[in-house]
Chains A and B, each alone.
Chain A
Amino acid sequence: MSQKQEEENPAEETGEEKQDTQEKEGILPERAEEAKLKAKYPSLGQKPGGSDFLMKRLQKGQKYFDSGDYNMAKAKMKNKQLPSAGPDKSLVTGDHIPTPQDLPQRKSSLVTSKLAGGQVE
């Protein structure tokens, strides 16, 4: 027994909690949520789930640190501190030169998993 479009029709009961009116208006909650989102972020792209998401996904793990740029910037600034990335350290790129402090630290020594009864050192 196949399920019809869940947004359009009330879901076929498979022992699920009855949602009555909410289910019949199934189409509206999603649209209402979309309106909420657009109100918060008016510049959100017209293309839903498009290239932006995918590109972000494909670039996971990318770290930007160029020791040449860093040392040259440091030389120019001399005594002054280089501006740091600020609270959002995950996106260290753009018009700011990343510093070693901005990049997340590498993990420390490896210990046995707690599932195997490993102790925290």
Chain B
Amino acid sequence: MAGAGGGGCPAGGNDFQWCFSQVKGAIDEDVAEADIISTVEFNYSGDLLATGDKGGRVVIFQREQENKSRPHSRGEYNVYSTFQSHEPEFDYLKSLEIEEKINKIRWLPQQNAAHFLLSTNDKTIKLWKISERDKRAEGYNLKDEDGRLRDPFRITALRVPILKPMDLMVEASPRRIFANAHTYHINSISVNSDHETYLSADDLRINLWHLEITDRSFNIVDIKPANMEELTEVITAAEFHPHQCNVFVYSSSKGTIRLCDMRSSALCDRHSKFFEEPEDPSSRSFFSEIISSISDVKFSHSGRYMMSRDYLSVKVWDLNMESRPLETHQVHEYLRSKLCSLYENDCIFDKFECCWNGSDSAIMTGSYNNFFRMFDRDTRRDVTLEASRESSKPRASLKPRKVCTGGKRKKDEISVDSLDFNKKILHTAWHPADSVIAVAATNNLYIFQGKIN
């Protein structure tokens, strides 16, 4: 699979390989909870890569420009800016502890020299402006170069301050704070294609905001039942359509996706389209509903398809066909016979994300044991790769991994019982145009680049 946005699978005839590029973060075994990465997102050009962590911090990496004197550093991501986005809070009225963990980061399309992103924790969304400063004024009249005020009576001549270059400084400042609009925990934010509005979704409600207005938002979906005893499902993810500014989707804990059109009514409690794969009632078990819960939903770049991630699979849907998905890709079907223990250790509730490559020809999602899976939609091939320090030699290509389910374990295979369920890859991101992926493995960020040998 060649070319920009190409992804895919080394198993194909062409010699496309994913190679280790960089890893960020501490090596030591003792992982502080605050260092656990909770979201990863490329901006629209792919030049910036943002991460958020459980400690409420955002770190932004910038891709280096091509440099003839250092050819190997081409395309490397280095720290551009870092700031504390959210802090822990306590709601005394409700006796509720509010985590500072960054649930999602979404970039705004760039409109001027500065970069803007939205970051959110469980309750509050913030708009951050990241700007560069590489000049400063010198030659003020009323103060010295070190800032001390000059005695006005000693000033005998006036001068015009001039701009002098200085070392690049990247500043992050909160421009808007969108607070107090969510009773439940925010799981998604999504910027609209109109670049003026965005939505935020919690377990039971979805709100529409204008980026300029912080003191009010419109409620567009409300699934809270009059009697909470009747609660049967919650909202798990929501996203705006990439081109149609009136369309958005939201997924539920029952494995359904609803597409809503804001033109039809102000309150979109009634969906325009309802996507659900019919279930065979005879195969229903205690776990059926839990593993059908959708943890992530993403539109394709084209806007023709969308992808949903449930516990064991990724499904690609055609927006024109509600009855069943177009494709179903098994992520780790071998876990079906481990559901009892996965329920006991709560892993069955893990929320995996998924992403498309730039051309929508491939999709990626994470698994356990620091494995992540890629599916090439064109060649119908898939591969399992691992983010580990062992395969982290510069430009070393990643070897496909295999999990063995049966009795006989081949060399290089790993058995299901040896998988480390604490090493979860929940967050991955794909560069919007190039063959570059970012994989968050607990407290480490891996960057891999694709090459054709």
Could you tell me which A residues sit within 8 Å of B by CB distance? 1-3, 5-8, 11-12, 14-17, 19-20, 22-23, 26-27, 29-34, 36-38, 40, 44, 48-51, 53-55, 57-58, 60-65, 106-107, 110, 112-118, 120
Nearest residue, chain B, Cβ from A65: B95
Q: Are B343 and A113 in contact (CB under 8 A)?
A: no
A22 touches B82 (CB 8 A): no
- B24 engages A115 (CB within 8 Å): yes
Q: Are B96 and A106 in contact (CB under 8 A)?
A: no
Cross-interface CB contact of B330 among A16, A54, A55, cutoff 8 Å: A16
Q: Is the CB of A8 within 8 A of B98?
A: no
CB–CB A114/B280 < 8 A = no
A-B contact count (CB 8 A): 183
For residue B253, CB closer than 8 A to chain A, the reply is yes
A48 and B443 in contact, given A19-B405, A54-B233, A61-B122 (Cβ under 8 angstroms): no
When A and B form their complex, which 10 residue pairs have the shortest distance between CB atoms, in order from nearest? Answer: A3-B328, A49-B289, A29-B337, A7-B283, A116-B82, A33-B339, A33-B340, A36-B340, A15-B381, A48-B286
Given contacts A55-B231, A58-B234, A61-B98, contact A30 B336 (CB under 8 A): yes
Q: How far is the CA of A53 from the CA of B254 in the complex (A)?
A: 12
B347 → chain A, closest Cβ, in Å?
A: 13
Report the bound CA distance from A65 to B25 in whole Å. 37
| Distance in angstroms between the alpha carbons of A107 and B288 in the assembled complex | 37
* A20–chain B nearest beta-carbon distance, Å: 8
User: Which parts of B320-346 form the interface with A (CB within 8 Å)?
Assistant: 324-330, 333-334, 336-340, 343-344
Which of chain A's residues have a CB closer than 8 A to the CB of B329? Answer: 3, 14
Q: Quick one: CB contact mask for B66-79 with A, threshold 8 Å, 1 for yes?
A: 00000000000001
Given A11-B330, A116-B59 in contact, is the A48-B283 Cβ separation under 8 Å? no
- Docked complex Cα distance between A7 and B37 (Å): 34
- Does B301 sit within 8 A of A, measured CB to CB? no
Set of chain A residues within 8 Å of B334, measured between Cβ atoms? 19
* Interface status of B287 (Cβ within 8 A of chain A): yes
Interchain CB contact under 8 A, A117 and B403: no
Residue from B56, B97, B375, B405 within 8 A of A14 (CB atoms): B375
Q: Please judge, given known A-B contacts A114-B26, A114-B35, A115-B445, whether A31 and B285 are in contact too, CB under 8 Å.
A: yes
In angstroms, Cα B336 to Cα A60, docked, is: 27
**Minimum CB–CB distance for A65 against chain B, Å:** 7
Q: Which residue of chain A has the shortest Cβ distance to B315 in the bound complex?
A: A3
In the assembled complex, the Cα of A17 lies from the Cα of B35 at a distance in Å of 35
Q: Is the CB of A33 within 8 A of B333?
A: no
- Measured in the bound complex, the distance between the Cα atoms of B102 and A115 in whole Å is 15
The residue that A17 contacts in the complex, of B32, B87, B403, with Cβ under 8 A, is B403
- A19-B333, A44-B286 known; 4 other A-B pairs, CB under 8 Å? A16-B382, A32-B337, A49-B293, A110-B84
Nearest residue, chain A, Cβ from B81: A116
Within B238-286, the residues touching A (CB, 8 Å) are 253-254, 279-280, 282-283, 285-286
CB-contact partner of A8 in B254, B280, B343, under 8 A: B280
Closest A residue by C-beta to B12: A15
B6 at interface by CB-CB < 8 Å: no
The minimal Cβ–Cβ distance linking B171 to chain A, given in whole angstroms, is 15
* Distance between Cα atoms of A8 and B445 in the complex (Å): 38
Q: Judging by beta carbons under 8 Å apart, are B59 and A115 in contact?
A: yes
Q: Is B216 an interface residue (CB 8 A)?
A: no
- The answer to whether residues A54 and B234 also contact, given A33-B340, A34-B287 and a CB cut-off of 8 A, is yes
Q: How many Å lie between the Cα of A119 and that of B288 in the bound state?
A: 45
Q: Which residues of B contact A23 (CB under 8 A)?
A: 333
Partner of B404 from A17, A34, A107 at Cβ < 8 Å: A17
Q: Which residues of B contact A118 (CB under 8 A)?
A: 82
Knowing A3-B325, A15-B381, the reply to whether A51 touches B253 (Cβ < 8 A) is no
Chain B, residue nearest A59 (CB): B96
**Residue B222, interface by CB 8 Å:** no
Which residues of chain A are within 8 angstroms of B336 by Cβ–Cβ distance? 26, 29-30, 33
Question: Roughly how many angstroms separate A109 CA and B185 CA in the complex, as a whole number?
Answer: 25
Inter-chain CA distance A2–B324, complex, in Å, is 8
B308 to chain A, nearest CB (A): 13
CA distance A1 to B329 in the complex (A): 11
**Which A residues lie within 8 Å of B350 (CB)?**
none
Q: Are A57 and B289 in contact (CB under 8 A)?
A: no
- What's the minimum C-beta distance from A109 to chain B, rounded to whole angstroms? 11
Mark B393-408 against chain A: 1 for CB-CB distance below 8 A, else 0.
0000000001111100
In this complex, which of A15, A20, A32 has the most chain B Cβ atoms within 10 angstroms of its Cβ? Answer: A15
Q: Which of B59, B324, B326, B380 contacts A113 (CB 8 A)?
A: B59
Choice from A12, A36, A50, A113 contacting B57 with Cβ under 8 Å: A113
Query: Cα distance A117–B445 when bound, in Å?
Result: 13
